[in-house]
């Protein structure tokens, strides 16, 4: 699933092409893409409006349109936004035709991606309330903020990081990489982290997300830039997908386990497994 770096990479590449442009025509080819209202209602709400700004919140694209209309697009597992691809590009679900003739196609083989509508700033705030937590690249996210969020949480820290209600945009890849850099085992209960560990983890999250953006994201299966080019951060993984290989830090073999229902990669030398506390 595309995570924050992949979404931000696409946003940065698309913004110069779509900001200031009008959505002359919007064709929803798959009714499942439109969530919460019939496809024709969504088309009526956005077609003919200018894109004032293309923003991002967590893993959502925010198409800010005239008159405070917001189109919220999520790629989910296999979605891609491609600019001017071949007309016969497979798995097309939505086609946006801009007033300068450029065409933006939402392609998604598994059909999990979505488009939703929010009306007015209050509607946008209400949409994200309860869905998304703190933005990890913001100045508000640091060790103290993380410790406050994790206080009394019994869930493993890997599960905590993946819960978008706590931290917006961090997914499986970047959670593994951040935990390794912070020296924290993914099964350690979130509430047991010290302030020092929280500070190290917050710094590591920021570091891997920024590195992912600089590398144009990670391409493992389906992710592509709007021009069809792949990301490159997968070449810099320290643990993710490296089961059976030596840890780049200490040489110990990287193992794979399950945390939060997700395949999780860890070096248990650099990231000591938490002790099981026995009841007296």
Which of 12, 111, 243, 262 does the annotation list as catalytic? 262
Rg (CA), the chain: 20
User: Among 241, 195, 202, 194, which Cα is nearest to 218's?
Assistant: 241
Measured distance CA(279)–CA(272) in Å, rounded = 21
Catalytic residue among 21, 56, 57, 59: 59
* Sole residue written with tokens 């999250």: 205
Residues 6+ apart with CB under 8 A from 234: 218, 219, 220, 241
Query: Which helix (H) or strand (E) element contains residue 95?
Result: strand 92-98
**What number of other Cβ atoms are within 10 A of residue 80's Cβ?**
23
Both tokens of 158, joined, read: 């890997």
Residues contacting residue 141 through CB under 8 Å, at least 6 positions apart: 134, 135, 167, 202, 205, 206
Backbone angles phi, psi at 5, to 5 degrees: -60, -35
177 labelled catalytic: no
Q: Known catalytic residue: 76?
A: no
Catalytic: which of 3, 6, 64, 177?
A: 3
Q: How far apart are CA 270 and CA 22, in angstroms?
A: 52
Active site residue 3: yes
Active site annotation includes 148: no
**Phi and psi angles of residue 52, each rounded to the nearest 5 degrees, phi first:** -70, -40
Name the helix (H) or strand (E) containing 214. Answer: helix 195-214
Cross-strand bridge partners of residue 104? 83, 96
Q: Within 10 A of 76 (CB to CB), how many other CB atoms are there?
A: 14
Per residue in 41-62, is it b (16+ CB within 10 Å) or e — as a string?
ebbebbbebebeebebbbbbbb
List residues with catalytic annotation.
Answer: 2-3, 59, 262
């Amino acid at each position: 699933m595309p995570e924050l770096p992949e979404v931000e990479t696409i946003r940065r590449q698309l913004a110069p092409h779509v900001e200031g442009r009008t959505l002359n025509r919007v064709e929803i080819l798959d009714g499942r893409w439109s969530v919460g209202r019939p496809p024709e209602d969504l088309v009526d709400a956005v077609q003919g409006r200018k894109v004032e700004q293309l923003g991002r919140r967590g893993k959502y694209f925010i198409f800010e349109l005239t008159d405070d209309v917001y189109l919220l697009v999520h790629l989910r597992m296999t979605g891609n936004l491609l600019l001017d691809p071949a007309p016969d590009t497979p798995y097309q679900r939505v086609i946006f035709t801009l007033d300068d003739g450029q065409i933006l196609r939402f392609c998604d083989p598994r059909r999990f991606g979505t488009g939703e509508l929010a009306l007015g700033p209050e509607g946008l705030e209400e949409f994200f309330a309860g869905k998304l937590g703190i933005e990890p690249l913001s100045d508000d996210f640091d060790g103290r903020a993380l410790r406050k969020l994790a206080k009394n949480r019994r869930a493993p820290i890997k599960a905590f990081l993946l819960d978008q209600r706590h931290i917006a945009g961090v997914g499986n890849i970047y959670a593994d990489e951040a935990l390794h850099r912070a020296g924290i085992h993914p099964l350690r209960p979130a509430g047991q982290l010290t302030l020092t560990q929280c500070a190290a983890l917050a710094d590591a999250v920021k570091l891997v997300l920024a590195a992912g953006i600089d590398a144009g994201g990670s391409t493992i299966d389906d992710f592509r830039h709007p021009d069809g080019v792949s990301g490159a951060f997968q070449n810099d993984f320290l643990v993710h997908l490296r089961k059976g290989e030596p840890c780049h830090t200490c040489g110990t073999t990287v193992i794979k386990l399950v945390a939060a229902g997700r395949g999780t990669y860890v070096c248990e030398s650099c990231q000591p497994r938490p002790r099981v506390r026995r009841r007296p």
